[in-house]
Chain A
Amino acid sequence: MRVNPLKKSIWVFHLNTGSCNACDIEILDALTPYFDVERFGIKLVASPRHADLVLLTGPITRKTLPKVINALRAVPRPRYILAIGACAVGGGIWYDTYSVIGGVEELKKMLEENGIEIDKIVYVPGCPARPEAIIYGVAVLLGLVEQKVHGEVKIAE
């Protein structure tokens, strides 16, 4: 399953929604000499308007919510999100506190209420997600590798 609009090098926008910085420094780590994702054409851009892919970290705190919605509104279609780290995936250790929204699923609902559609979300769990995992997540999005876990949710009673 190849995503057609992303055949060429993809540009990413880093959207920190209240993360503790660990995932963020791992993203930077992936961009610097040891992992060097720029050799794959992955490049960090300064504006969401230039982005093919949004690297979303953090549990989405209430205070960042309006700004996150604004930033995602500015991303051109197709709108792809790479949810990086336990917090972005499901709220992490603070999934139920008063001050956070609790992960990208909740955000998606709110975005839909605001008329913003998300075309695809790829989840990269980990606390923090390792640079290798982040690169793997991008490869999954591009259809270069198989997705390891499929969307079947089992909840223990």
Chain B
Amino acid sequence: MSVKEIMDIIREKLGGIAEDIRYVESAGIIVRVKPVNLREASHIVHDVLDAYFRTMMAVDERPINNTFAAYYVYGLDDKGINIIIEAHADPYTPVLPSIADIVPAADWYELEAWDLLGIKFKNRKLHRFVLPDDWPEGLYPLRRDVDYTVRPSPRITYKPPLQGPRLPVGPYHPALHEPEYFELFVEGERVVDVEYNGFHVHRGIEKLAESPRFTYQKIPFLAERICGICGFVHSVAYTLSVENAAKIEVPERAQYIRSIVLEVERLHSHLLWLGVACHLLGYDAGFMHSWRIREKVMVLAELLTGSRKTYGINLVGGVRKDINMDKITAIRNTLAWLRSEFAKLADLVTSVPQIVRRARGTGILPRDEARKLSVVGPVARASGLDRDVRRDYPYCAYKDVSFRVPVYTEGDNLARVMVRVEEIFESMDIIDQLLDKLPGGPIMAEKMEVPAGLVGIGNVEAPRGEDIHIIITGRGRPYRWRVRAPTYQNIPALKVMLRDAPLADAPLTIASIDPCFSCTDRIVVIDLKTGKREKLQTVSIPGECGCEI
């Protein structure tokens, strides 16, 4: 279906309430509505057109058009086109209607917009989400008139120990390698609810990118430091968004090199996760084997990029390091070794009872809940949602390779293990195909100009799921850069997975989404007041999120 036909459908469905409908090649179809019509438009796009909620960007546009703006991005996966609903709020008392009841996945985004930009959402509870509790009221760091170095002096307060049937997990806990805080509400050995308080790793990245310290070409290095595990994903997503917005032609060879490094990163990330999952189940042999194999991937990454992590080879317009025949031989040798070693490990991990019996049937996320919460990546694919950004919204060199997207319908922890195990094999095949087809030519675009005031979207399938960046270009640096990491979208699903499950399964279930808090750094809080089970069905999840920040 062409863009024109989709435009016609959108005109028919939304024509009555839209102020303006336009198509921007670098982003998608942008529909501007009045705040009063936002709920209706969201309902039509999310429920009638069945578009997947991808991200929301709130912007302080007071210097441009004297409003606060919110852009809700939905994706039509089968057509690979985004529908963006744009709404503007008053500059003095910014208020928008909440759509969290229509689009449950939008919950965190609204909380974040409130916390960082001071946009109020009607008919919902708002509270501190990303910022610490002692942050002064009325100081919104993402507003343009607030300097990025503002540092209110911290007040250190101590919370009394928990009372009642609540178990704290974190922020420093053996099962977590990052500072995040979960509170599990238990009845005997069963978890009845969970409260998540995250965003401990909020470092102010989006604001920093708008500061005079950064330019378009420096931000890829900042983006890589969003996350130490999937950093290259973020730098590629950022460069894609700028390149899309400014229509920069990236040479084919650079696209291939990016794809190869992205797949190498996926290999190391999935092996890392598999090891940690084994460790949490008390199967330390699996952990050690997995990390032994992974070390070769780290050595390979160092050979290709010069660094074990935070590769630093990506720039807007191309890459900084080429691949020569020696490196191609090294990749092929490593892959051959990896294939045989990993096949043995995969056989072991998917057959030992320590893993299989603990993972089967636990942490179930049914398909309809997964769809409602718009989860991404292996979590979605393990719950029967056939979504992969590499295939649905092709970028870099993925249009030239063929690969299988593993989908399982069980939705349990074992399905999530299996999806990742199969993805490791697929990644190795993808790298082989890319090496076969590697074209010659330059690795850096010659002409680069980024005009101000353009919108661009870049998406990358990270090891943890869809990573999506939106950018509004400014002079010399982005006007606004919005990062949405995969874990941001997946953490709310934990409340479904953990509810009514035995306590002993909680660490594996939390790990099964492969949470990356430095990416997400924000939170989920689930209300549970009285201990009544019925109440648990109407959960509100205020959260923070994180990969970006």
Residues of A bordering B, CB below 8 Å: 14-26, 28-29, 32-34, 46, 48, 58-59, 61-67, 69-71, 92-94, 96-101, 110, 114, 127-128, 130
Contacts and interface: CB of A to CB of B under 8 A. Distances in A.
A99 B549 contact: yes
Contacts of B221: 93
Interface stretch (B95-103, B153-161, B491-499): B153-161
Contacts of B134: 62
Given A33-B295, A94-B208, 17 more contacts: A16-B177, A18-B518, A18-B521, A19-B201, A21-B177, A22-B231, A25-B272, A32-B275, A32-B295, A61-B203, A62-B154, A65-B132, A67-B200, A92-B225, A97-B208, A110-B156, A127-B225
Contacts of A46: 173-174
Contacts of B151: 98
Contact of B172 (A59, A67, A93): A67
A58 B200 CA distance: 11
A28 B141 CA distance: 34
8 contacts: A19-B228, A21-B516, A32-B288, A32-B292, A61-B201, A65-B132, A97-B203, A127-B310
Given A16-B177, A29-B298, A63 B292 contact: no
Contacts of B292: 32-34
Contacts of A14: 177
A65 to B, nearest CB: 6
A17 B156 contact: no
A21 B518 contact: yes
A22 B292 CA distance: 17
Interface string B440-463: 000000000000000000000000
Contact of A19 (B132, B172, B205, B518): B518
Contact of B291 (A28, A59, A100): A28
B291 A32 contact: yes
A28 B154 contact: no
Nearest to A102: B151
Considering residues A16, A34, A66, A99, which has the most beta carbons from chain B within 10 angstroms of its beta carbon?
A99
B154 A26 contact: no
Considering residues B172, B231, B272, B287, which has the most beta carbons from chain A within 10 angstroms of its beta carbon?
B172
B538 interface: no
A96 B208 CA distance: 9
A147 to B, nearest CB: 24
B288 A20 contact: no
Given A63-B132, A67-B171, A100 B204 contact: yes
B200 A18 contact: yes
A70 B203 contact: no
Given A21-B177, A26-B309, A99 B229 contact: no
Contact of A128 (B135, B179, B287, B309): B309
B319 interface: no
Contact of B203 (A21, A100, A127): A100
B204 A21 contact: no
A104 B220 CA distance: 26
Contacts of A63: 131-132, 199-200, 202
A20 to B, nearest CB: 4
A67 B84 CA distance: 40
Contacts of A71: 172
Top 6 A-B residue pairs of the complex, sorted by shortest distance between their CB atoms: A22-B228, A32-B291, A97-B204, A21-B228, A46-B174, A99-B204
Q: Provide the main secondary structure of the chain B interface.
A: loop
A18 B203 contact: yes
Contacts of A61: 200-203
Nearest to B181: A67
A15 B173 CA distance: 10
Contacts of B172: 15-16, 48, 67, 71
A23 B310 CA distance: 10
B162 interface: no
Interface string B494-514: 000000000000000000000
Given A21-B518, A71-B172, A66 B200 contact: no
Considering residues A33, A46, A61, A114, which has the most beta carbons from chain B within 10 angstroms of its beta carbon?
A61
A19 B200 CA distance: 10
A96 B199 CA distance: 18
B429 to A, nearest CB: 25
A106 to B, nearest CB: 10
A66 to B, nearest CB: 5
A94 B59 CA distance: 22
B308 interface: yes
B156 A69 contact: yes
B150 interface: yes
B205 A94 contact: yes
Interface in B121-171: 131-132, 134-135, 141, 146, 148-151, 154, 156-158, 171
Contacts of B310: 22, 127-128
Given A64-B171, A98-B204, A128-B310, A20 B177 contact: no
B291 A29 contact: yes
B242 interface: no
Nearest to B149: A96
A27 B509 CA distance: 24
Nearest to A20: B228
A145 B57 CA distance: 51
A26 B301 CA distance: 14
Considering residues B132, B226, B275, B516, which has the most beta carbons from chain A within 10 angstroms of its beta carbon?
B132
Contacts of B518: 18-21
A31 B157 CA distance: 35
B270 to A, nearest CB: 13
A98 B295 contact: no
A100 B152 CA distance: 11
A120 to B, nearest CB: 21
A33 B228 CA distance: 21
B375 interface: no
A140 to B, nearest CB: 21
B246 interface: no
Contacts of A127: 225, 310
B245 to A, nearest CB: 24
Given A23-B228, A97-B149, A58 B288 contact: no
B257 interface: no
B229 A62 contact: no
Contacts of B521: 18
